[in-house]
């Protein structure tokens, strides 16, 4: 693992701007997180792109068009190209079959660009599958960010979830050995890449996400009260928020089971069911009814970023009961909102939640253990405030400009390595 190139952007030497092609084949960064297949990765890609552009770089994002192909300006210096490949809505498990077609469209777009791209940056394994042949054909460096790894997902799979296919496992291992560099989002992912996929440590860079602390921040008490009223939460109730796409891997069933041991608390689930996991969402309603907590569970579906910021601020505790997370953006957004987090002690969550400082990490999946951790915060206002203040301080130590600066470092090192005989 390379040392993290931390530092303030103003300290970086003046260098010519880069032309960067970000590839996000299976989901558009313009889509709302928590809806369909959109999640934290969409936030990371879009925020990184805007921060790179704010530093003077030109960034084009390529995604697969679910409808008609289109070109859209997302921000100054950031353009989205939705390429036709397969046409219409396609189930995620069928998308690998469209990687070649998408890659051909990507290569055509790269040839047609006014100026050649300096680097390709593929996000998720499907993007790498499509973009690696383009990199080889055009002699262009390629950086890969996986976001999630099949090896780790299968290791922690739940009874209701589907194992990742062998094709993905083999593709991720192949990509780890072939791309010019890998930008990992956590130290836990670095270990997974090097130990699990055999990636060369010298080509793995650590570039953790950041958080928009202007959007996610503590609101006045009156604003919080209004949000809680709209959610049907009484003043004396504890408000627990669980945010993310509804799927077995995210473990929302554990949050519902936990609620049985927390009388006087209301659980708000924010996020839509991932396509193919609709039955899991139905099972959560069934579970809540069987446990007698149905009246204290609110499923509000996916919400826009502003509404999410209000929810995280209004909550007393945010729970992240995921079976695995490569990083965990929601805990960082909750921390920026001044809200304590209770999360699984797995993967990158051990880095996005500082145990005992900004929240509590829980071993295992016993609902009583989770209820004890959440209850300890709900019942202790001083602890709640202390964890919240520490979370806000931790979140403000890093912003998306830091991420952009670090990505530039990765890109320029990769370009230089390609240019060296």
Q: Report the mean per-residue pLDDT for the chain.
A: 93
What's the rounded mean pLDDT across residues 249-274? 96
Rounded to an integer, what distance in angstroms lies between the CA atom of residue 368 and that of residue 386? 24
pLDDT for 163: 87
Structure tokens at 206: 């650590």
pLDDT digits (tens, 9 = 90+) for 360-396: 999 999 999 999 999 999 999 999 999 999 999 999 9
Instruction: State the first-to-last Cα distance of the chain, in angstroms, to the nearest integer.
Output: 23
Higher pLDDT, 328 or 318: 318
> With the CA atoms of 374, 358, 299 and 232 taken in that order, what torsion angle do they form, in degrees rounded to the nearest 10?
70
Q: What is the DSSP letter of 345?
A: S
Predicted confidence band of residue 159 (pLDDT cuts 50, 70, 90): low
pLDDT for 135: 97
Helix (H), strand (E) at residue 143: strand 142-145
Using the predicted structure, report yes or no on whether residue 407 has a pLDDT greater than 70.
Answer: yes
pLDDT for 398: 95
pLDDT for 11: 46
pTM for the full model? 0.92
pLDDT for 160: 63
Please name which of 75, 32, 38 lies closest in space to residue 400, comparing C-alpha atoms: 75
Task: Give how far Cα 292 sits from Cα of 144, 289, 414, Å.
Answer: 46, 5, 56
Predicted confidence band of residue 161 (pLDDT cuts 50, 70, 90): confident
The β-bridge partners of 409 are none
Predicted confidence band of residue 92 (pLDDT cuts 50, 70, 90): confident
Q: Is 260 exposed, middle or buried (0-12, 13-18, 19+ CB in 10 A)?
A: middle
Positive or negative, the CA dihedral 196, 197, 202, 204 is negative
pLDDT for 94: 87
Structure tokens at 61: 């994002």
pLDDT for 2: 46
pLDDT for 1: 52
At 342, is the secondary structure helix, strand, or coil? strand
What's the rounded mean pLDDT across residues 80-86? 93
pLDDT for 86: 81
Domains in the chain (CATH in brackets) are 9-210+399-419 (3.40.50.2000), 221-395 (3.40.50.2000)
Rounded to an integer, what distance in angstroms lies between the CA atom of residue 360 and that of residue 377? 9
Rounded to an integer, what distance in angstroms lies between the CA atom of residue 343 and that of residue 331? 8
pLDDT digits (tens, 9 = 90+) for 134-153: 999 999 999 999 999 999 98
pLDDT for 162: 81
Please name the residues in contact with 95: beta carbons below 8 A apart, sequence gap of 6 or more.
25, 26, 64, 86, 126
pLDDT digits (tens, 9 = 90+) for 1-59: 544 433 344 444 578 999 999 999 999 999 888 777 778 899 999 999 999 999 999 99
Percent of the chain clearing pLDDT 70 (strictly above): 96
Q: How many CA atoms lie within 13 A of 240 on its CB side?
A: 31
Q: How many CB atoms lie within 10 A of CB 86?
A: 16
Least confident of 25-34, 87-96, 213-222, 333-342: 87-96
What's the rounded mean pLDDT across residues 283-289? 97
pLDDT for 38: 76
pLDDT digits (tens, 9 = 90+) for 162-183: 889 999 999 999 999 999 999 9
């Amino acid at each position: 693992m390379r040392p993290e190139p931390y530092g303030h952007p103003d300290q970086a030497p003046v260098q010519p701007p880069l032309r960067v092609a970000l590839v996000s084949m299976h989901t558009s960064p313009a889509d709302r997180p928590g809806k369909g297949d959109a999640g934290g990765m969409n936030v990371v890609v879009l925020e990184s792109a805007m921060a790179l552009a704010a530093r003077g770089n030109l960034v084009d994002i390529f995604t697969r068009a679910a409808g008609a192909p289109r070109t859209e300006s997302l921000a100054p210096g950031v353009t989205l190209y939705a390429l036709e490949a397969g046409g219409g809505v396609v189930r995620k498990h069928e998308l690998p079959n469209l990687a070649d077609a998408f890659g051909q469209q990507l290569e055509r777009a790269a040839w047609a660009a006014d100026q050649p791209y300096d680097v390709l940056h593929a996000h998720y394994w499907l993007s790498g599958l499509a973009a690696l042949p383009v990199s080889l054909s055009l002699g262009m460096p390629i950086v890969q960010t996986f976001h999630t790894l099949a090896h780790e997902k299968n290791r922690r799979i739940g009874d209701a979830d589907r194992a990742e296919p062998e094709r993905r496992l083999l593709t991720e291992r192949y990509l780890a050995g072939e791309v010019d560099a890998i930008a990992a989002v956590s130290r836990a992912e670095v270990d997974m890449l090097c130990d699990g996929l055999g990636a060369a440590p010298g080509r793995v860079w650590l570039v953790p996400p950041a958080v928009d602390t202007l959007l996610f921040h503590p609101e006045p008490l009156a604003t919080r009260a209004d949000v809680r009223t709209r959610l049907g939460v009484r003043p004396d109730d504890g408000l627990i928020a669980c945010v993310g796409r509804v799927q077995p891997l995210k473990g929302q069933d554990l949050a519902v089971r936990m609620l049985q041991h927390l009388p006087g608390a209301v659980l708000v689930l924010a996020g839509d069911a991932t396509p193919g996991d609709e039955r899991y969402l139905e099972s959560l309603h069934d579970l809540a009814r069987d446990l007698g907590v149905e009246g204290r569970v609110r499923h509000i579906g996916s919400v826009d970023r502003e509404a999410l910021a209000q929810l995280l601020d209004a909550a007393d505790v945010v729970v992240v009961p995921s079976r695995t997370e490569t990083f965990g953006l929601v805990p960082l957004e909750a921390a920026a909102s001044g809200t304590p987090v209770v999360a699984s002690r797995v993967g990158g969550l051990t880095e996005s939640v500082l145990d005992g400082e900004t929240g509590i990490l829980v071993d295992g999946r016993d609902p009583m253990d989770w209820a004890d951790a959440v209850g300890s915060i709900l019942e202790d206002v001083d602890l709640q405030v202390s964890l919240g203040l520490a979370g806000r301080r931790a979140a403000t130590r890093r912003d998306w400009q830091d991420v952009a600066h670090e990505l530039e470092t990765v890109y320029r090192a990769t370009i230089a390595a390609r240019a060296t005989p």
